[in-house]
Structure 1
Amino acid sequence: MIWVALWCSALAATAAAETPAQTHSCVACHGNAGVSDNPEWPSLAGQNAAYLEQQITAFRDGERENPPMKPFVENLSDAEIAELAEYYADQEAVATANGDPALVDTGRQLAGYCSACHGYAGRPATDEWPVLAGQHAAYLELQLLSFKRGERIQPLMQAAVGKLSAKEFAALAAYYSQLQP
């Protein structure tokens, strides 16, 4: 019995030692181990490390604007960003399944617009693109709208979402939120 307690204690200490110090400022919004409780904020757990690194760097350098993020990332070094990205990529992702269930079938039909880049199961062809499977529906909707409005710039995304409506964004978000990451 004592050896089990010692083993658990050593395991917890090892896990704490492997958690980057910078995660302490991420937890409030992105949740413990990167699983966000707020549907308008992304879960980072299981996301592609290259994508996370690219996005955190874009926030830090002002290429992607998000005033609430700026104070948390503005002083991170490239090495710290890479460490955070790897940490969150290694965490277990969970499906939020928080989109409107009545829209899932429509979203599945529309997912052909997304599948060339993000895969049929919401896992992209390259790790420089985001995993959509299991992400919060509200967050996905907001990002699609941001691309359509030109608030986020990525030419492939602008082309893909240009003719889609807000209702179609909601359907896509509902579909991807229920997929297992």
Structure 2
Amino acid sequence: MKKRIVVLGIALVAALASGISVAETPDQAQVCVACHGEGGKSTNPLWPNLAGQNAGYLARQITAFREGERKNPAMAPFVAPLTDADIAILASYFSSQPLAISATGDASEIETGKYLAGYCSACHGYAGKPATNEWPILAGQHAAYLRQQLLAYKSGERIHPLMQAAISKLGEKEFSALAAYYSQLQP
């Protein structure tokens, strides 16, 4: 696994150095548009915006889908044939797009979400943008998607020890408020 991460990291650096412009959509990204929208701006609130997301995080998640570490039957056929170089190109392309701000959460929950964001800020930053490239940007993400992912961590469908610890005392009501708050942030 460590060798694959090193190879992926080298491929990602090469893709970033290639200077893919915002206007150029690489061939590898053409199929992604059906669900994640032009330039990674999803129109379905249950599917994540990829535009402006951290490249390291995107590469790690696409690899996790390809390797079966992260399960999603809809994603499986699209990620199975991807090489490490393809993943690096996708991560570089989508991270170079302007960040999409969805503001899809319930406005009446934003203040509560802002208060609860203390649970998240150590890793995801005060403005929903983490200090490390390996963690996701929460700012501007679809509220329904964020809520869905928090529920997946809570149920054990997705596993990350830091996430499980951070949300252990929270439930669906708090997840909705956090999602509303982060969906409207602009980092």
| CA apart distance, 1:42 | 0.1
Equivalent of residue 133 in structure 1, options 131, 134, 139:
139
Equivalent of residue 58 in structure 2, options 52, 59, 65:
52
Equivalent of residue 164 in structure 1, options 167, 170, 179:
170
Poorly superposed stretches of 4+, deviation over 6 Å: none
| CA apart distance, 1:46 | 0.3
Q: 1:40 maps to which residue?
A: 46
Residue 95, structure 1, aligned to residue 101, structure 2: yes
Counterpart residue identity of residue 55, structure 1: Q
Query: What is the alpha-carbon distance in structure 1 between the residues aligned to residue 171 and residue 135 of structure 2?
Result: 22
Query: What is the alpha-carbon distance in structure 1 between the residues aligned to residue 23 and residue 137 of structure 2?
Result: 27
Structure 2: runs of 5+ lacking an equivalent: 1-19
Q: 1:11 maps to which residue?
A: none
Query: What is the alpha-carbon distance in structure 1 between the residues aligned to residue 143 and residue 122 of structure 2?
Result: 20
Residue 122, structure 1, aligned to residue 128, structure 2: yes
| TM-score w.r.t. length of structure 1 | 0.90
Residue 153, structure 1, aligned to residue 164, structure 2: no
Provide closer, same or farther for how the CA distance between residues 142 and 20 of structure 1 changes in structure 2, counting only shifts above 3 A.
same
Q: Give per-residue Cα distances to partners, 1:108-131, cap 9 Å, x unaligned.
A: 000000000000000012110000
CA contact (8 A) 2:138 2:182 kept: yes
State the Cα RMSD in Å. 1.4
Provide closer, same or farther for how the CA distance between residues 17 and 168 of structure 1 changes in structure 2, counting only shifts above 3 A.
closer
| TM-score w.r.t. length of structure 2 | 0.87
Structure 1: runs of 5+ lacking an equivalent: 1-13
Highest Rg: 1 or 2? 1
Query: What is the alpha-carbon distance in structure 2 between the residues aligned to residue 124 and residue 74 of structure 1?
Result: 29
Q: Give per-residue Cα distances to partners, 1:54-111, cap 9 Å, x unaligned.
A: 0000000000000100000001000000000000000011211010000000000000
